[in-house]
Structure 1
Amino acid sequence: MKRRRLFMIILFFLIAFTLHNIEEALFLPAWSKTSRFQRTVEPKVFYFAVSIVTLVACSIGALYLLGSEKLWITYLQTGLIGAMLINVIMPHAVAAITERRYAPGIVTGAVLLLPIGSVAMIHVIQSEKLTMLEAVFSSVGAGILLLGLIYILFGIGEKICKLKPR
């Protein structure tokens, strides 16, 4: 029963993550043109990067849900959840409060990621018998990896979008 509950919670987290990225894809490129928090991002570049990040996150989740016994998969899944919980606060909530306007990602972050991610984190820690310190380190590590991946994907996306078809 516990494994089934954890399965459903992680599945809901991955759905929330995907919806969050869709919200950002719909609104962030235009918002970035007037924001102090985000450099201007071309829509195609952002769509490319957010699509790859979503695929990577769902792949990690799938490996975890399929019952991989590898500890690093557990750390990656736990870290992804924690990184997204942090992501709701910084930059989304901080940007919305500071700029006193909607920040793309804040709605799905507050309504979906915070509650589902919090429940998922608690269940993963309890079921996997992770310490709070391991969860924190996983979250920080995954956050750093995500930022690095996004930076790299923006660079690749910019190069791809500059290519002209023959």
Structure 2
Amino acid sequence: MVYFVAFFCFAITLHNIEEAIWLPEWSQQSSKFQKPVTSNEFHFAVIVITMLAYLSAFGFLYMPESDIAKWIFIGFLGSMVINAIFPHLIATVVMKKYAPGLLTGLLLNIPVNSLVIYQMFLKNLIVWKELIISTLVVGIILLALIPLLFKVGDKVSP
């Protein structure tokens, strides 16, 4: 599983770098999908989210017997698969303009995370109920955390 966890970290890092480079400027246009966000706000939030993703991955690797570590990790896996579709793919289609994060979401996050999930099913590490509930819980927590991180990022950045 070490390689699969490393692939997850690689994929989410590249995805978040793509977003960090282009999303703040993209968010300045009128959109139902994204409120305008400054570079400072977004960069702070994306760094924290990336750190949490890494913590979830390493927590699973170093505490494989922990259900909570596993649930948080698979929640991140599932959330990032959904994230590639909503908002990235849907925003691109509806706005008829590329939404930053779409390319890495479709070409990295969906295949890599799906492969990790598939391997976890093959090794009987997870069941569907765990994947679905973990994805929902982690996804909701991340959605709630992002606006808070934007506010903190605005305060702590020069």
Give TM-score scaled by structure 2 length.
0.94
Match of 1:8 among 3, 18, 41: 3
Is 1:21 aligned to residue 23 of structure 2? no
Confirm or deny: 8 A CA contact 2:92 2:98 kept in the other structure: yes
1:1-166 to structure 2, matched below 5 A, reads 6-36=1-31, 37-161=33-157
Deviation readout 1:59-109 (Å, 9 max, x if unpaired): 111111224421100000011000000000000000011111110000100
- 2-structure distance, mates of 1:126, 1:138: 18
- 2-structure distance, mates of 1:67, 1:73: 7
Q: Report deviation, 1:35.
A: 4.2
Confirm or deny: 8 A CA contact 1:29 1:40 kept in the other structure: yes
Aligned residue in 2 for 1:3: none
* Count of matched residue positions in the alignment of Structure 1 and Structure 2: 157
RMSD between aligned residues: 1.3
- 2-structure distance, mates of 1:35, 1:73: 39
Q: Which amino acid aligns with 1:151?
A: P
| Identity over aligned pairs, percent | 36
- 2-structure distance, mates of 1:46, 1:65: 28
- 2-structure distance, mates of 1:99, 1:45: 23
Q: Secondary structure at the match of 1:101?
A: coil
Confirm or deny: 8 A CA contact 2:80 2:109 kept in the other structure: yes
Q: Which runs of 5+ in 1 are unaligned?
A: 1-5
Provide runs of 4+ in structure 1 moved above 6 Å.
none
Confirm or deny: 8 A CA contact 1:78 1:124 kept in the other structure: no
Give TM-score scaled by structure 1 length.
0.89
**Higher alpha-carbon deviation: 29-38 or 14-23:** 29-38
Q: Report deviation, 1:18.
A: 0.6
